[in-house]
């Protein structure tokens, strides 16, 4: 396997393995809460964070994490302000993130090449420092999600019931939104700012069509994400494709395949029922 002889590919697969684990785990709870667009908004906030990091000399993933968490907490605050129109909060932060990113990009000169690697992902540019940040953040996110699993599940399906049962809904919601922000910030190194929300949503969308339980949905979503990451990285190496685009297109293909197989099974089941009914007629 020539691909694994190169250190930059070894780092890419390590980073991809971590990102492919935490993205669908976070994405499942986001989807169940019907807040899939929050990932897109926070990825645009990361745009400003990366630009600020390149401009000031701070590591871009660190600066993107700070911006993303700030944006996430701002979304939750604005959701309280616009209680009956919570989607406005997401639109406001998304707009602010894009605008601030454009301003910071116009101020900086000479780092456009580096910025493009964060915009679309770059397996060559992943270094040891990136791996350490991604590994540490990924471990923290995964452990906290597992620790809060029951509470997040309860809140996702019945927020008011969770509140009445004594669960600190506000604190847990804020914490989860911050974890979502951190997940997006570390994932941009692999799939890029423009596509990171897709890796969070697409594997979950596929899993929800075929899973029979919450646990099964999480397992299938992780398998889908990891498969997309591995196939995408192989394609980016051997066919010279953008890694982010290759990973997300693989996720799209897996989703389409899932929908087709699901429909074929439904059609087969309907035909079987019709044959059974026809056979029972006198």
Mind listing the domains of the chain with CATH numbers? 2-198 (1.10.3470.10)
CB-based burial of residue 111 (10 Å sphere; 0-12 exposed, 13-18 middle, 19+ buried)?
middle
Query: How many residues in total does the chain contain?
Result: 282
Intervals of the chain under pLDDT 70: 86, 108-113, 278-282
**Rounded Cα gap, residues 71 and 52, in angstroms:** 14
Q: What is the pLDDT of residue 220?
A: 93
What would the pLDDT profile of 124-153 be if each residue is shown by its tens digit? 778 888 899 889 999 999 999 999 888 888
Q: What is the pLDDT of residue 109?
A: 64
What would the pLDDT profile of 252-278 be if each residue is shown by its tens digit? 999 999 999 888 887 887 777 777 776
**Contact residues for 18 (Cβ-Cβ < 8 A; gap 6+):** 134, 135, 138, 186
Q: Model pTM? A: 0.85
End-to-end Cα distance, the chain: 64
């Amino acid at each position: 396997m020539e691909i694994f002889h190169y250190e930059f590919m070894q780092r890419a697969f390590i980073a991809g393995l971590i990102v492919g684990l935490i993205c669908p785990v976070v994405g499942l709870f986001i989807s169940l809460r019907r807040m899939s667009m929050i990932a897109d908004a926070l990825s645009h906030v990361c745009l400003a964070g990366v630009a600020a990091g390149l401009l000031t000399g701070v590591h871009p993933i660190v600066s993107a994490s700070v911006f993303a968490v700030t944006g996430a907490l701002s979304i939750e605050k604005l959701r309280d302000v616009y209680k009956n129109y919570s989607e406005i909060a997401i639109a406001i932060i998304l707009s602010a993130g894009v605008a601030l990113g454009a301003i910071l990009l116009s101020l900086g000169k000479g780092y456009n090449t580096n910025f493009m690697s964060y915009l679309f992902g770059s397996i060559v540019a992943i270094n040891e420092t990136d791996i350490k940040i991604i590994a540490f953040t990924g471990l923290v996110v995964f452990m906290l999600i597992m620790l809060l699993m029951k509470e997040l599940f309860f809140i996702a399906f019945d927020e008011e019931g969770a509140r009445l049962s004594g669960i600190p809904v506000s604190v847990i919601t804020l914490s989860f939104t911050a974890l979502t922000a951190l997940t997006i910030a570390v994932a941009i190194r692999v799939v890029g700012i423009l596509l990171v929300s897709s890796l969070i949503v697409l594997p979950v969308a596929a899993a929800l069509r075929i899973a029979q339980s919450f646990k099964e949905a999480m397992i299938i979503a992780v398998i889908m994400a990891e498969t997309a990451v591995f196939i995408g990285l192989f394609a980016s190496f051997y066919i010279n494709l953008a890694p982010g685009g290759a990973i997300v297109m693989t996720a799209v293909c897996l989703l389409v395949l899932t929908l087709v197989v699901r429909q074929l099974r439904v059609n087969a089941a309907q035909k079987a029922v019709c044959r059974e009914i026809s056979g029972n007629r006198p």
